[in-house]
Structure 1
Amino acid sequence: RTQKGISVIKEGDSTPVTAADFAIQGLVSAELQKKFPNDRFMGEEDASALREDPALCDMAFQLSERFGGPGTKEGFLDAVDRGLEEDRGEGERVWILDPIDGTKGFMTGKNYIVGLALCNAEGEP
Structure 2
Amino acid sequence: MTAIDFAAFIDQLAAVSGETILPFFRTSLGIDDKGPAGHFDPVTAADRAAEQAMRTLIRRTFPEHGIIGEEFGQERAEAEYVWVLDPIDGTKSFIAGMPVWGTLIALTRLGEPVFGLMNQPFTRELFSGDGLAAEYRGPAGKRKLRTRPCAGLSDAILFTTSPLLMDENDRATFRKVEERVKLSRYGGDCYAYCMLAAGHIDLVIETGLKPYDILPLIPILNGAGAIVTSWDGGPAGLGGAVVAASDPRVHAAALELLR
TM-score of Structure 1 vs Structure 2, range by shorter chain:
0.5 to 0.7
Alignment of 1:34-113 (within 5 A): 34-46=60-72, 84-85=73-74, 87-88=75-76, 90-110=78-98, 111-113=100-102
Cα offset, 1:30, TM superposition: 0.5
Cα offset, 1:107, TM superposition: 1.3
State the percentage of identical aligned residues: 35
Cα-Cα RMSD: 1.7
* Larger RCO, structures 1/2 (Cα 8 Å, 6+ apart): 1
Instruction: Normalising by structure 2, report the TM-score.
Output: 0.31
Distance 1:10 1:44, change over 3 A: same
Cα separation, 2, equivalents of 1:122 and 1:43: 15
Bigger radius of gyration, 1 or 2?
2
Secondary structure, counterpart of 2:113 in structure 1: coil
- State whether structure 2 residue 102 is matched by structure 1 residue 119: no
**Paired position in structure 2 for 1:51:** none
Cα offset, 1:89, TM superposition: 5.4
Gaps of 5+ in 2: 1-24, 115-259
Cα offset, 1:105, TM superposition: 1.2
Cα separation, 2, equivalents of 1:124 and 1:89: 13
Determine if contact 1:39/1:90 at 8 Å carries over to the other structure: no
**Paired position in structure 2 for 1:23:** 49
Structure holding more strand per residue: 2
Supply the AA of the counterpart residue of 2:53: L
Secondary structure, counterpart of 1:33 in structure 2: helix
Cα deviation digits, residues 45-68 of structure 1 (max 9, x gap): 13xxxxxxxxxxxxxxxxxxxxxx
